[in-house]
Structure 1
Amino acid sequence: MKLADSVAIVTGGAGGLGEATVRELAEAGASVVIADLADDKAEKLAEDLGRKVKYVRTDVTSEASVLETVEAAKALGTLRYAVVAHGGFGVAEKVVQRDGSPAPLAGFTKTVDLYLTGTYNVLRLAAAAIAQNEPDADGQRGAIVTTASIAAFEGQIGQSAYAASKAGVVGLTLVAARDLSSLGIRVVTVAPGTMRTPIMESVGDEALAKFAANIPNPKRLGLPAEYASLVHHILENPYLNGETIRLDGAQRFGPR
């Protein structure tokens, strides 16, 4: 399946990994819906990339909001792809804090709601729409890429909420691929390591150098364009399915 003349939804498409993916898919000939809440950045990106890219304000935790985004995507053509790459929230706290009190439940719940429930919400609604397509000669109707993190496998101290939510995305991958196999819809997850997104760059050069020192090869942070390139390949390679692919330069998180 080729991206040209197809439609893709990218959640978190206004920044970091999502923006790079929007640019990559649009360059490959797809029409792209930027599903985000960052109005100014998303509108500017859509304007920069032209008429085949549209911004739709989207709350990934809301069924009604995601359904509106799916309908907007279908209005552009044949919706075949969705890339779940949103971020925007996280807490850093130990299960039991220094004063002996338990970590507040609210931070854990909000993190899981965004990264895991939000992912599932987009996955299920996009898949239902993609399932309406006519299959190609190989029986394929489309594909969905979700985003985890290497924290799913080596969560660091204070990352219990984030690690649990991303581990949930990894756990969802194979079962979703199996659920959707009869419909000709593939599901693959990317688990990035430390990526040089705008948020990461805000920590400063000294901190970035420390992060890079723990990455074996290449000894630098990953680039959003490298994530986008992998997503592009996944969407067009029909034999990639039900797998989580680490994108991390052989990095493994230590405890801190």
Structure 2
Amino acid sequence: MHQLDFSSSNLADLAGKTVIVTGAARGIGASTAALFNSHGANVVLVDLPQAKDAATSLIESFQYPEKSLFAPANILFWKDLVDEAGDPVESLEANRVIDVNLKGTLNTLRLGLHYLSQNEPSATGSRGSIVFVTSTSGYFGSTGNAAYISSKHGVVGLMRASLRRAASLGISLSSVAPCYTPTHLTAGFGQKITDAGLNANTPEGVASVAASLACDGTAHGLACLVWGSYKRELERTRQDLLISWLGDDLVDSMAKFGQVMDSMGGYPLPQNKD
């Protein structure tokens, strides 16, 4: 466990610097914008157009209101963020990676839970299983592709967030996290991996692990990193390390927070406000 202690002296040199805060009209964004402004920074508050009144009131409350302005924008839309004459272009490829890997997996999970929950339970109470294909990129950032790494981290979070709901339906969730596997998707760089003398999976080997997880009645919540002969569990071992990672006091507080969230039926998504 490593406790971080931050000093306000780090903020002493903010005067004259420019800070952009997204989601700035309310909540954490508003407090962040106010803090930077109080130290003399020029602050651009970015939020949805309908948040203009809230942002304007916030700016009027600032210590240096003349150093702040509101920039209406929806960060989902590239055209809101970049002037038409600007050089950067939206990365359609990055969007596609996230759409396929994360949104597609979410859609598939929802359908899977819906239809599997209608199965008659087995003698052990199981109605079926779902195995996610994550990646070592869902746990590490060494592949260097931001969109792919982000999407695979999202799939890991999706599995973790869905475990309790799936268990209540008698459905097992687990995941396989393969490292480099020669397929048509990796054909452009596979030789470099081979030349470096590194392990390689086979599609058949990864499939074997996925099938084993699907058929293992005790695999709920388990994730298996697969890389050649390496088959290492990721999720349960992470749980075992939490106290040494975070400290028992924080682990206890997080557990109690989780219980409160469970009693509410999960973290409520924010509602759109005009």
Q: 1:18-63 deviations in whole A, cap 9, x for unaligned?
A: xxxxxxxxxxxxxxxxxxxxxxxxxxxxxxxxxxxxxxxxxxxxxx
Q: Which amino acid aligns with 1:184?
A: G
2:137 to 151, 159, 164: 151
Tell whether 2:117 aligns with 1:138: no
2:48 aligns with: none
Matches within 5 A, 1:22-171: 104-156=90-142, 158-171=144-157
| % identity of equivalent residues | 32
**1:103–1:192 Cα change, 3 Å:** farther
1:187 aligns with: 173
2:205 to 201, 222, 226: 226
Q: Which amino acid aligns with 2:214?
A: L
Q: Is the 8 A contact 1:194 1:222 kept in 2?
A: yes
**1:248–1:138 Cα change, 3 Å:** same
Higher-Rg member (1/2): 2
Q: 1:64-122 deviations in whole A, cap 9, x for unaligned?
A: xxxxxxxxxxxxxxxxxxxxxxxxxxxxxxxxxxxxx7673433322111100100101
Cα distance in 2 for partners of 1:205, 1:135 equals 43
1:237 aligns with: 216
Q: 1:131-154 deviations in whole A, cap 9, x for unaligned?
A: 101101111000001111111222
Q: Which runs of 4+ in 1 moved over 6 A?
A: none
Q: Is the 8 A contact 1:193 1:222 kept in 2?
A: yes
Cα distance in 1 for partners of 2:158, 2:190 equals 36
Cα distance in 1 for partners of 2:139, 2:116 equals 30
Structure 2: runs of 5+ lacking an equivalent = 1-86, 232-274
Cα distance in 1 for partners of 2:146, 2:190 equals 27
Q: Which has the higher contact order (CA 8 A, sep 6+)?
A: 1
Decide which structure has greater helix share: 2
Q: Which amino acid aligns with 1:235?
A: A
Measure how far apart 1:227 and its partner are.
0.8
Structure 1: runs of 5+ lacking an equivalent = 1-100, 252-256
Q: Which amino acid aligns with 2:166?
A: L
Q: How many residues align?
A: 145
Measure how far apart 1:194 and its partner are.
0.2
1:247 to 222, 226, 237: 226
Q: Which amino acid aligns with 1:120?
A: L
Q: Is the 8 A contact 1:170 1:244 kept in 2?
A: no
